[in-house]
Structure 1
Amino acid sequence: MTALRTSSISDAISRLPRGAHVVAAPGMGAPSTLVAEIGRRADDQGWTLSSGLFLDEYPFLDAVVEGRLSYRTWHVMPPVRKAVAAGLVEYLPVRASRLAHLLSRWSPDVALVRVGPPDPRGYCSLGASAGYGRPAVRNARIVIAEVDPSVPRTFGETMLHHSEIDILVESATPVPLYRAAVGDELTRLIAQHVRTLLPRELTLQIGVGGVPESLIRSLGEDPSGIDSMRIVGMATDDMVDLFASGLLRHSDVVPEPAILSPDMMATQRLLEFAHQNPSIGMYSSAVAHDPYSLGRRERFYSVNTALEVDLSGNVNSEVMRGEQLSGPGGSLDYVDAATRSCGGRRIIALPSTTSDGSRSRIVPRLDHVTIPRSMTDVVVTEYGVAELEGRSLAERARLLIEIAHPDQRSLLAETLR
């Protein structure tokens, strides 16, 4: 193994110039030790931190709220929602496929990443997060990496040579882990409706949330009806079971892996399974979210959830009651890919009401649109399937009212009239 020379965390952060724009890797690849230290050392530095989602508790957030650090994000998670609403955190509406282009335009001063130790040739792995790590490194003037021995060596676009890293520090924080959405009878029922739409051979993409994750769980428990598949997008623990059931093949390896993912959202189970496993390929969003290349796959099925769908088929995945709850992420990219795919389909799967039952998620009209009605194909709730493509506005409204909660249907029909 290449000799590892590390700096202290204090020395590393002291290299940040005043007024620096810092980009940090997200999710399970977040450099938690480094961003926490930035929060502690932010006084009078004029630093700006940009990132996607973090899975931990945003250890720098106090510095942001106190006005000592500027923070911008393109994916709003629960810990920062109030700060976004108060204008203390800037929200950037960015599609995942545009991140590499955005980083090229920004040319950030500093990139922060989490990597595994270098191998005998001097290569470190970005492990579970490849979405924009390499583009950030490529475009930054200074690269600081925290080294964590638990980071898996993954295939795809995850290798950084130590010569690309200016400063190495030892990580003092564990890899942030993802707590899978808890499935219940409702999400399982919606997932069963989605299964009726799937062909025997397909490429499947799922988004974050109870319904898509319940779909993967269901396929692992009972693979009947599917002969073979590949996965694109978020990689989860439950996908390990798809290899055991035979739906995913160990023989499908990079550059055409069984799972092509920009980011894992998982626990130690998938981290260990992905270590030196070429059937899981971790790629930047320029590849893993590219609608042009993904759209060349036959039968590309995107399955994403949403906050609301209006009676014409517009989809809102981001804003509820005026509050920014998430971001577009890769949903529009994957819908675009499925639109281009021969035999592809775009499925929006969501419960008919909010969790307390007080509000219908099928609504008359939307103030915020993430996916326009012209790209909406199928909407699924626990009450069935509404196939919208090729339907008039009046037909769409009728079909969507039929899958709304029974207590809301008469009100929706009256509003429509």
Structure 2
Amino acid sequence: MSKYVSAQEAVKIVKSSDRVYVQAAAATPTVLTKALAERASELRDVEICHLHTEGEAPYANPELAESFHVNSFFIGKNVRHTLQAGNGSYTPVFLSELPHLFRKKVLKIDVAFIHVSMPDKHGYCSLGVSVEATVAAIENAQYVIAQVNPRMPRTFGDGIIHVSEINYLVEVDEPIHSHEMALISPEEDRIGTYIASLIEDESTLQMGIGSIPNAALTKLVNHKNLGLHTEMFSDGVVDLIENDVINCNYKGVVRGRALATFLIGSQRLYDFVNDNPFVEMRESSFVNDTAVIRRNPKMIAINSAIEVDITGQVCADSIGARMYSGVGGQMDFIRGASLSAGGKAIIALPSITKRGESRIVPFLRQGAGVVTTRSHVQYIITENGIADLYGKTLKQRMKEMVKIAHPLHQENIERQFFEVKNTAV
């Protein structure tokens, strides 16, 4: 009997009270999730769990709360409303740890929805642009349903799966989710310049998606022999790889290969990684393992934040008590970089929000989560400069942080801090 069926037929394997894992990011199998949502009237208490996903998430409609509950390991825009509506939850977990939750059966997976390349002549597919925790989900799921797409890039590493491991295959032919590079603002450009000033030749980079990482990458064209060991990457690295700025020749882990666990960008990026052995996609339990990351000399971790207080506490997952994103891999890489020989752990963010509120604050908002503690932080960067907090006292940190705050907020930040702390620091 052929494994090739319609999406509607494939998702009939899901039953009430099952837990379904959905592959993340650009590989989100939206044809399958849409077909599952269409079965809402037949199902009750199905838990759908995933990291950040792209595209529409019809199962997250609060009107379907009796049928589906969303369990986010990293909260995306398409499901953020579920926490307030009551049909969603957030599980805080390091990205390095998520595969272990499945393998230890802390979270039992009944069905895995995945998105793969076409099988090759030997019957092997690729998970393409998103491996993250999907391999562990596949290994521990009772059933695996694959959305098979000729437009999914074929990548090397951990994400190779044989059709014999898949219960049902659903053929689609549509573009995978993409992000075009955004314009870089003058403030982001200055932040990028400051970041680049801390990066030496032969360093290994970790950075995510967005204008600040891209701004930093544009400043590295004259650097030499850089490496890439990162949770994810986007278009910004392609020119540097093609011009031999990033060649990975001095890495301590998987030398000569760029290492990531997922990626998202434009079609140019997907064409670049397709069938490209220079790019190796590995599971997050390896890529994000602090003990692995630290083996890269001069490891540079560049991450962002929602707000940072003037002692160096970094809130990156919530706005006050309202959950916004997740822990992700920030601490994995901050710690790994700080333990690396010559490594640097960097938090970079604009000094103010679009509404003019300071993101450098005397105290984190009530209910805010600390993703990176003040004892882990090394450098905080805004468009106003670099705060070097490593080995600094609380009073010294306050001075460093105030100087990188927006000039309109500097005096108020310092005053509010001392009104509460007085001479405690």
Query: By the TM > 0.5 criterion, same fold?
Result: yes
Q: CA shift at 1:186, angstroms?
A: 0.9
Q: Distance in 1 between matches of 2:13 and 2:417?
A: 60
Q: Distance in 2 between matches of 1:368 and 1:207?
A: 21
Equivalent of 1:229, from 221, 226, 229? 226
1:307 is aligned to 306
1:186 is aligned to 187
Contact kept in structure 1, 2:62 and 2:85, CA below 8 Å: no
Q: Distance in 1 between matches of 2:143 and 2:335?
A: 35
Which is worse superposed, 71-80 or 285-294? Answer: 71-80
Contact kept in structure 1, 2:94 and 2:329, CA below 8 Å: yes
Contact kept in structure 1, 2:148 and 2:172, CA below 8 Å: yes
Contact kept in structure 2, 1:154 and 1:275, CA below 8 Å: yes
1:241 is aligned to 239
2:324 is aligned to 325
Aligned-residue RMSD, C-alpha: 2.0
Matched residues, number: 410
* SS at 1:121 equivalent: coil
1:84 is aligned to 83
1:176 is aligned to 177
Change (3 A) 1:179 1:57: farther
1:143 is aligned to 144
Which is worse superposed, 74-83 or 191-200? Answer: 74-83
1:383 is aligned to 384
Change (3 A) 1:389 1:250: closer
Q: CA shift at 1:194, angstroms?
A: 0.9
Contact kept in structure 2, 1:36 and 1:59, CA below 8 Å: yes
Per-residue displacement from partner, 1:379-403 (whole Å, max 9, x unpaired)? 0111111100100000000110011
Contact kept in structure 1, 2:204 and 2:248, CA below 8 Å: no
Q: Distance in 2 between matches of 1:55 and 1:10?
A: 21
Identity of aligned residues (%): 31
Q: Does 1:158 align with 2:156?
A: no
Q: CA shift at 1:15, angstroms?
A: 1.5
1:282 is aligned to 281
Code of the residue aligned with 2:224 in structure 1: it is: D
Q: CA shift at 1:142, angstroms?
A: 0.5
2:333 is aligned to 334
Change (3 A) 1:94 1:174: same
Change (3 A) 1:4 1:269: farther
Normalized against structure 2, the TM-score is what?
Answer: 0.92
Large movers: runs of 4+ above 6 Å: 250-254
Q: Give ranges in structure 2 of 5+ residues lacking alignment.
A: 419-425
Change (3 A) 1:406 1:37: same
Which is worse superposed, 269-278 or 315-324? Answer: 315-324
Q: CA shift at 1:163, angstroms?
A: 0.7
Q: CA shift at 1:296, angstroms?
A: 1.1
For residues 8-407 of structure 1, the aligned pairs below 5 Å read 8-46=6-44, 47-62=46-61, 66-104=65-103, 105=105, 106-171=107-172, 173-219=174-220, 223-224=221-222, 226-233=223-230, 234-249=232-247, 255-357=254-356, 359-366=357-364, 367-407=368-408
Q: CA shift at 1:252, angstroms?
A: 9.2
Per-residue displacement from partner, 1:110-156 (whole Å, max 9, x unpaired)? 01100111111110111111111211100101111011011111111
Per-residue displacement from partner, 1:2-40 (whole Å, max 9, x unpaired)? x98411222211112322111010011111110111111
Q: CA shift at 1:65, angstroms?
A: 5.2
Q: CA shift at 1:217, angstroms?
A: 3.4
Q: Distance in 1 between matches of 2:132 and 2:78?
A: 21
Normalized against structure 1, the TM-score is what?
Answer: 0.94
Change (3 A) 1:298 1:35: same
Q: Distance in 2 between matches of 1:85 and 1:181?
A: 30
Contact kept in structure 2, 1:212 and 1:305, CA below 8 Å: no
Q: Distance in 2 between matches of 1:23 and 1:117?
A: 21
1:7 is aligned to 5
Code of the residue aligned with 1:167 in structure 2: it is: Y
Per-residue displacement from partner, 1:299-336 (whole Å, max 9, x unpaired)? 10100111111011000111114321111111110011
Q: Give ranges in structure 1 of 5+ residues lacking alignment.
A: none
Code of the residue aligned with 1:156 in structure 2: it is: G
Contact kept in structure 2, 1:123 and 1:161, CA below 8 Å: yes
Q: CA shift at 1:251, angstroms?
A: 7.9
